[in-house]
C-alpha cells in the first residue's frame, strides 16, 4: 500500500532525527555527566529528544515555561552554554522555587522570571526562539504552543505531558500529524536506557505503547497552526463538557498508562 505524503514525510523526519541523535549522544552524556535527577522532572530520554532536535538549530535563546525544581533548566543550561535560557515559573512562593535557586547557583546563562506564562510568553517570544512548555498543561499548553507558532513564528515548541490516551494527546494524534513524540517506538527502543535498565519491548505492527509523560514537538511552518488553534479551542470545550458528564456519572477521568502499556 502506498503511503500518504504526510506519513512519508513523518517517517523521513524520524529517520533524520534518529541519525542526528546518534551524533548528539556523546555530547549529551558529557554535558549532563554528574547531574542529579529529580524523580518528578522530565525524563532523560525526553530531554535528549529535545537536544537531538534543537542542537542543529544552534538557538540564541531557549524559553522554558514551568521551572519547578529546575531539572530541565539546569540541563538546558549545560546543553546550550552559548544560548540564553529564560525560565518562567508561576509560583514564586512555592518550596520548589528555593530548591531551583540553589540548584542554578553558579550558572551564568539562565534568567529566571516569575509570572503567568499564558500572558508572558506571547509577549516575550520572538522568531528564532525555541520554547519548552512544562506548565501550563493539557489543552492550555497546546493552545499556547499553537499561538506561538501561528503568531510569534518561533522556531519550534516542545510540550510535555502529552501521554498516550489523554484528551490533549488525542487531539495531537488526530489533528497534528506533523508532531514528533518521544514515546515513538523507535525512540523508546533506542534511548529508554537513559532512564532505567528496564528493556523496552519490541515494536509490534499496529500496537502503540505508552512511555513516560511524553514530550511532543511542533516545528515551524509544518502546519496551518492558526486553523489548528481554532480546532483546539473547540476540542477543549468539548472535553470540558465530557468531564462534567464523567463527574456527574461518577466515572473516572482518563489515567496516564504505565510504561509500555498498550493502548
| Whole-angstrom distance, CA of residue 65 vs CA of residue 23 | 28
Parallel, antiparallel or unpaired: strands 84-89 and 180-181: unpaired
In a domain, 99, yes or no: yes
In a domain, 19, yes or no: yes
SS3 assignment, position 257: coil
Grid cell listed for 177: 500529524
Chain-wide mean pLDDT for the chain?
A: 94
Question: Residue 3: what pLDDT?
Answer: 45
pLDDT, tens digit, for every residue of 173-230?
A: 999 999 999 999 999 999 999 999 999 998 888 899 999 999 999 999 999 999 999 9
pLDDT, tens digit, for every residue of 112-124?
A: 999 999 999 999 9
In a domain, 263, yes or no: no
In a domain, 255, yes or no: no
SS3 assignment, position 132: strand
In a domain, 182, yes or no: yes
| Whole-angstrom distance, CA of residue 142 vs CA of residue 261 | 24
In a domain, 257, yes or no: no
Give the domain extent around 153.
Answer: 5-248
In a domain, 259, yes or no: no
CATH number of 74's domain: 3.40.50.150
Grid cell listed for 256: 496516564
- What pTM does this model have? 0.95
In a domain, 253, yes or no: no
How many domains would you assign to the chain?
1
Mean pLDDT of 28-55: 91
Amino acid at each position: 500500500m502506498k503511503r500518504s505524503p504526510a506519513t512519508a514525510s513523518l517517517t523521513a523526519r524520524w529517520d533524520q532525527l534518529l541519525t542526528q541523535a546518534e551524533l548528539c549522544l556523546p555530547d549529551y552524556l558529557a554535558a549532563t555527566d554528574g547531574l542529579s535527577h529529580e524523580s518528578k522532572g522530565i525524563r532523560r530520554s525526553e530531554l535528549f529528544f529535545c537536544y537531538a532536535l534543537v542542537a542543529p538549530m544552534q538557538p540564541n535563546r531557549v524559553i522554558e515555561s514551568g521551572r519547578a525544581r529546575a531539572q530541565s533548566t539546569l540541563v538546558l543550561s549545560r546543553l546550550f552554554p552559548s544560548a540564553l535560557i529564560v525560565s518562567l515559573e508561576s509560583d514564586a512562593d512555592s518550596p520548589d522555587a528555593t530548591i531551583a535557586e540553589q540548584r542554578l547557583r553558579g550558572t551564568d546563562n539562565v534568567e529566571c522570571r516569575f509570572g503567568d506564562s499564558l500572558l508572558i510568553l506571547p509577549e516575550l517570544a520572538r522568531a528564532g526562539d525555541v520554547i519548552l512548555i512544562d506548565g501550563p498543561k493539557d489543552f492550555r499548553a497546546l493552545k499556547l504552543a499553537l499561538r506561538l507558532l501561528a503568531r510569534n513564528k518561533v522556531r519550534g515548541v516542545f510540550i510535555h505531558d502529552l501521554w498516550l490516551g489523554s484528551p490533549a494527546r488525542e487531539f495531537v494524534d488526530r489533528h497534528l500529524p506533523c508532531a514528533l513524540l518521544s514515546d515513538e517506538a523507535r525512540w523508546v527502543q533506542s534511548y529508554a536506557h537513559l532512564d532505567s535498565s528496564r528493556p523496552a519491548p519490541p515494536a509490534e505492527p499496529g500496537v502503540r505503547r505508552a512511555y513516560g509523560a511524553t514530550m511532543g514537538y511542533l516545528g515551524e511552518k509544518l502546519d496551518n497552526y492558526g486553523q489548528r488553534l481554532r480546532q483546539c479551542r473547540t476540542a477543549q470545550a468539548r472535553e470540558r463538557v465530557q468531564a462534567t458528564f464523567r463527574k456527574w456519572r461518577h466515572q473516572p477521568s482518563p489515567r496516564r498508562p504505565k510504561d509500555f502499556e498498550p493502548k
